[in-house]
Amino acid sequence: QTIYLKDYTPFGFQVDSVHLTFHLSPKATRVVSRIEFTPQPDAKDKTFFLHGEQLKLIAAKIDGQPVSPAVTPQGLTCDAPTEPFVWEAEVEINPQGNTALEGLYMSNGMYCTQCEAEGFRKITFYPDRPDVMSTFTVRIEGDEKVLLSNGNPTGSGEGWAEWHDPWPKPAYLFALVAGDLINHPDRFTTKSGKDVELNIWVRPGDEDKCAFGMEALIKSMKWDEDVYGLEYDLDIFNIVAVDDFNMGAMENKGLNIFNSSCVLASPETSTDANFERIEAIIAHEYFHNWTGNRITCRDWFQLCLKEGLTVYRDSQFTSDMRSASVKRISDVIDLRGRQFAEDNGPLAHQVRPESFQEINNFYTATIYEKGAEVIGMLKRLVGDDAYAKAVALYFERHDGQACTIEDWLQVFEDSTGRDLSQFSKWYSQAGTPRIKVTDDYADGTYTLTLEQSTPPTPGQPDKDPRVIPVAVGLLGQNGDEVRETEVLELTEAKQSFTFEGLSAKPIPSVLREFSAPVILERETTNAERAFLLAHDSDSFNRWEAGNTLAKESRIAMVLDGAAPDADYLDALIKLVRDDSLDPAFRSLVLSPPSQSDLAQTLFERGHTPDPQAIYDAAETFAQTLAEAMTDSLPRLYADTTVQGDYSPDAASAGKRDLNTRILSLLTRLDGGDQAARQYADADNMTVQNAALASLLKAEKGAEQSQTFFDQWQGDRLVMDKWFGLQVACAAPAKAAGLAEDLTKHALFDMKNPNRFRAVMGALAMNQAGFHYAGGAGYKLLTDNLIALDALNPQTTARMCAAYQTWKRYDDTRQGLIRTQLERIAGTENLSRDTSEMVTRILNG
């Protein structure tokens, strides 16, 4: 059943207050609710319908009188008074049996919840929609030492605790946690002097992995005050780490729940990348307190209202805490890898979709990351000051409300006077715009012509031109900047922009800072790219020039059997050796273009990508580079080795990142000697993991893999690395077989999403391994998806996206994949989640 944005109707009742009592028991928890409703006199739809799924209704009353509602698998309907009334119900649920990890479930003996988007209806009967907001009072009765819910604690005793959340919220922000947990406490004083208690709650044994997360939380609270003027609004802020979780984390009011992989950190068990990600996710969830909780979404079509904005805010935070240019480049790599793949395939959808079957399938790179890009473009178009003013108006006007994208755009229109009707197409049109760039120079005038078009996407054959901010700078022949960055506003299908008074034809640096999520098409020479790689003052475009050269060289290798481009190799080596450059930047320049990205580019140019040929080109390129650097690699390795105690700061992490890339090149020459020494000496996970990865890639790591296992088998998060790394580093012919063996390992547990993703996600990411001739990878993934669907539809459906690029490939591979997709589609009792995904992938 499909749900449409155009069908939105407000609920016919206001919820004045919610009281919930939980009698916890693993297989038979009782939930008693007492909810005050006021009928809305002018409501169009006066039906008293409460969502409810997988609930055993024990009793229901209205104003104290027993009632017998009509119950379906989706919820109940009941005759309701026309005056304010009190609804009471008692239901029974089974947290222990809840493997979907949605609603109230158990993870390693602790109770926890995940209600976004529509999980609250698995806890009790309720109008489970984000535009219904109310205050919640919660009483928890259970034997666990720690009993938590949203808001402020109002009382507790032996076996019970009570909480009251004074801020009206939708049910998706409800949370409950109960377990024998230990806290890592701290405090924060807000700018207006409010003293807030902070806790990170973990299972015993994890208490030494909380300090970094706590620091990140305190930094986030301070940053949101300093940059957005937003202050925390309760007496307490709790974070809980949970081992079994479908997503990264959840912003429940005052009680954020985290996948333990996104909060627990220690130098011995976490990599630099883990530390950075944890800092960003803690910030993200905290920032939701205003962008998501105080101002929420009217309906789930508006998901990007809170997610795009909050991703945008967390990326600003990371830029401020670390290096802005490194963050921008990494974000673009990620956007191209995940969002462009989505936007240019069967799963393409609008930043604000207009229909869906299962909302959980729309927590996507398009809603999150493209949603954030749209906000970045808006800020660039109106300017920093106007952005700040508009956002301030947003909080002033909409605090306490459930809003739409129209509300968001309106504050910008009202505060700047700008007409944003064309800009709003970024929300309503799916697909990645292409911009064709041509230029001309005559008599001191330089002309840039930009032509935009967007290919068709499912359900949207034709697209209108959008407003696209294209940041451009011009360089002179000597490498100096002759025109500083200027934002061109492309609004027409085709438009020319002129620059006067130039003494010679300049070299353009187009789409600086990646000012719009588009694909640039420009015929240019490798010499010009090399020039930009050497001279561009915009670090994004400098990296981009190198990235394009790397791609073009590999494409020539794949298509024409060419050797690695000698000029590019020279330029690359010069850059990598240049000690005056930031190591993190050098590392990014050295990082190879993704094999999936190459496949997509080949496909768009009319070729059928061969994953094995792309893999071989990458190998040959790296081998040639390593050989060309034979003399300098040992010195570079030594120079980039970080001495002293481990610290996860950005500078050390950037240096280690470069060191890891040097090690992988070195391993091609020394057969793994240096990597084995690094492994033996490692005193932190970043270098231990890097050494093991290099060895596994060289098929030399059997012994280290065993010692790694022996050392870390008691640590779930490190074991996820062990499972994932082997598959990620496996040679194409071996990846599927190895992944299959790992699914038979005693520590493989498909009920744990992190472990499932470690193996199956790594397989899907190993391009040449997953698509290896014969289709063993497809069959293995499908077997596992079908088995998991019966337990956990959400995680299954997300992983189906591994097939979204299937139309790129040759007929044989398409045939093999079609067979697997049809096998999933034909599975009995397939979940709505997975069924929607597979149908879209097959038909898109």
Catalytic residue numbers? 285
Nearer to Zn ion, 310 or 704 (CB): 310
Name the segment binding ligand ARG (CB under 6 A); options: 214-222, 227-235, 243-251, 617-625.
Answer: 243-251
Nearer to ligand ARG, 247 or 468 (CB): 247
Name the segment binding ligand ARG (CB under 6 A); options: 245-253, 461-469, 523-531, 817-825.
Answer: 245-253
Any contact of residue 363 with ligand ARG (CB under 6 A)? yes
Distance between CA atoms of residues 245 and 114, nearest Å: 8
**How wide is the angle at C-alpha 294 spanned by C-alphas 289 and 300, nearest 5°?**
95
Q: Which does 360 bind (CB under 5 to 8 A by kind): Zn ion, ligand ARG, none?
A: ligand ARG
Q: Which amino acid, 475?
A: L
Nearer to ligand ARG, 107 or 524 (CB): 107
First and final C-alpha spacing in the chain: 18
Nearer to Zn ion, 310 or 667 (CB): 310
Other C-beta atoms closer than 10 Å to the C-beta of 701 total: 24
Distance between CA atoms of residues 13 and 36, nearest Å: 10
Any contact of residue 365 with ligand ARG (CB under 6 A)? no
Q: By CB under 6 A, what part of segment 419-438 binds ligand ARG?
A: none
Any contact of residue 299 with ligand ARG (CB under 6 A)? no
8 Å CB contact between 557 and 621: yes
CA distances from 577 to 175, 483, 532, 589, 828 (A): 52, 29, 18, 12, 58
Q: Which does 246 bind (CB under 5 to 8 A by kind): ligand ARG, Zn ion, none?
A: ligand ARG
Nearer to ligand ARG, 114 or 124 (CB): 114
Give the closest residue to 820 by CA, choosing from 833, 803, 801: 803
| Least distance (Å) between residue 377 CB and ligand ARG | 21
Which member of 200, 221, 250, 764 binds ligand ARG (CB under 6 A)?
250
Nearer to ligand ARG, 363 or 497 (CB): 363
Nearer to Zn ion, 307 or 657 (CB): 307
| Least distance (Å) between residue 360 CB and ligand ARG | 4
Nearer to ligand ARG, 297 or 759 (CB): 297
Name the segment binding ligand ARG (CB under 6 A); options: 248-256, 336-344, 615-623, 727-735.
Answer: 248-256
Site string for Zn ion, 754-793 (x = CB under 5 A): ----------------------------------------
Any contact of residue 709 with ligand ARG (CB under 6 A)? no
Name the segment binding ligand ARG (CB under 6 A); options: 113-121, 346-354, 688-696, 802-810.
Answer: 113-121
Which member of 112, 117, 411, 598 binds ligand ARG (CB under 6 A)?
117
Give the closest residue to 806 by CA, choosing from 833, 831, 782: 782
Any contact of residue 247 with ligand ARG (CB under 6 A)? yes
Helix (H) or strand (E) holding 165: strand 160-169
3-class SS at 499?
A: strand
CA distances from 517 to 59, 370, 450, 468, 488 (A): 53, 7, 15, 9, 15
Token pair listed for 801 = 């996206």
3-class SS at 592?
A: coil
**How wide is the angle at C-alpha 355 spanned by C-alphas 351 and 361, nearest 5°?**
70
| Least distance (Å) between residue 356 CB and Zn ion | 18
CA distances from 443 to 246, 446, 478, 672 (A): 61, 8, 20, 59
- # binding residues, Zn ion (CB under 5 A): 2
| Least distance (Å) between residue 362 CB and ligand ARG | 8
Token pair listed for 633 = 């690699």
Q: Which residues contact 283 (CB under 8 A, 6 or more apart)?
A: 216, 219, 220, 223, 313, 314, 317, 318
| Least distance (Å) between residue 292 CB and ligand ARG | 7
Q: Which does 373 bind (CB under 5 to 8 A by kind): ligand ARG, Zn ion, none?
A: none
8 Å CB contact between 621 and 598: no
CA distances from 651 to 189, 582, 591, 648, 657 (A): 29, 8, 18, 8, 10
Q: Which does 169 bind (CB under 5 to 8 A by kind): ligand ARG, Zn ion, none?
A: none
8 Å CB contact between 621 and 553: yes
Name the segment binding ligand ARG (CB under 6 A); options: 240-248, 331-339, 458-466, 627-635.
Answer: 240-248
Q: Which does 794 bind (CB under 5 to 8 A by kind): ligand ARG, Zn ion, none?
A: ligand ARG
Which member of 29, 199, 360, 805 binds ligand ARG (CB under 6 A)?
360
Distance between CA atoms of residues 431 and 455, nearest Å: 7
Helix (H) or strand (E) holding 331: helix 324-334
Q: Which does 314 bind (CB under 5 to 8 A by kind): Zn ion, ligand ARG, none?
A: none
Q: Which residues contact 766 (CB under 8 A, 6 or more apart)?
A: 727, 728, 730, 732, 735
Q: Which does 591 bind (CB under 5 to 8 A by kind): Zn ion, ligand ARG, none?
A: none
Residue 24 burial by Cβ neighbours in a 10 Å radius (0-12, 13-18, 19+)? buried
Any contact of residue 249 with ligand ARG (CB under 6 A)? yes
| Least distance (Å) between residue 294 CB and Zn ion | 14
Token pair listed for 530 = 């090399």
Nearer to ligand ARG, 117 or 533 (CB): 117
Nearer to ligand ARG, 160 or 363 (CB): 363
Nearer to ligand ARG, 362 or 723 (CB): 362
Name the segment binding ligand ARG (CB under 6 A); options: 242-250, 624-632, 666-674, 706-714.
Answer: 242-250
Which member of 199, 246, 296, 524 binds ligand ARG (CB under 6 A)?
246
Any contact of residue 801 with ligand ARG (CB under 6 A)? no
Distance between CA atoms of residues 45 and 212, nearest Å: 50
3-class SS at 467?
A: coil
Which member of 128, 276, 285, 544 binds ligand ARG (CB under 6 A)?
285
Nearer to Zn ion, 307 or 720 (CB): 307
Residue 829 burial by Cβ neighbours in a 10 Å radius (0-12, 13-18, 19+)? exposed
Name the segment binding Zn ion (CB under 5 A); options: 61-69, 111-119, 302-310, 384-392.
Answer: 302-310
3-class SS at 94?
A: coil
Q: Which long-range contacts (CB under 8 A, 24 or more apart) does 402-406 make?
A: 402/130, 402/131, 402/133, 402/170, 402/296, 402/297, 402/298, 403/295, 403/296, 403/297, 403/298, 403/302, 403/305, 404/297, 404/298, 404/302, 404/305, 405/302, 405/304, 405/305, 405/352
Q: Which does 538 bind (CB under 5 to 8 A by kind): Zn ion, ligand ARG, none?
A: none
Any contact of residue 8 with ligand ARG (CB under 6 A)? no
Nearer to Zn ion, 165 or 307 (CB): 307
Give the closest residue to 740 by CA, choosing from 714, 719, 769, 713: 769
Any contact of residue 251 with ligand ARG (CB under 6 A)? yes
Name the segment binding ligand ARG (CB under 6 A); options: 84-92, 146-154, 244-252, 512-520.
Answer: 244-252
| Least distance (Å) between residue 139 CB and ligand ARG | 26
| Least distance (Å) between residue 251 CB and ligand ARG | 6
Other C-beta atoms closer than 10 Å to the C-beta of 487 total: 16
Q: How does strand 236-242 pair with strand 255-259?
A: parallel
Name the segment binding ligand ARG (CB under 6 A); options: 247-255, 257-265, 475-483, 826-834.
Answer: 247-255
Distance between CA atoms of residues 674 and 469, nearest Å: 47
| Least distance (Å) between residue 122 CB and ligand ARG | 12
Distance between CA atoms of residues 822 and 830, nearest Å: 12
User: Binding residues for Zn ion, per CB under 5 A?
Assistant: 307, 310
User: Binding residues for ligand ARG, per CB under 6 A?
Assistant: 114, 116-117, 246-251, 284-285, 307, 360, 363, 794
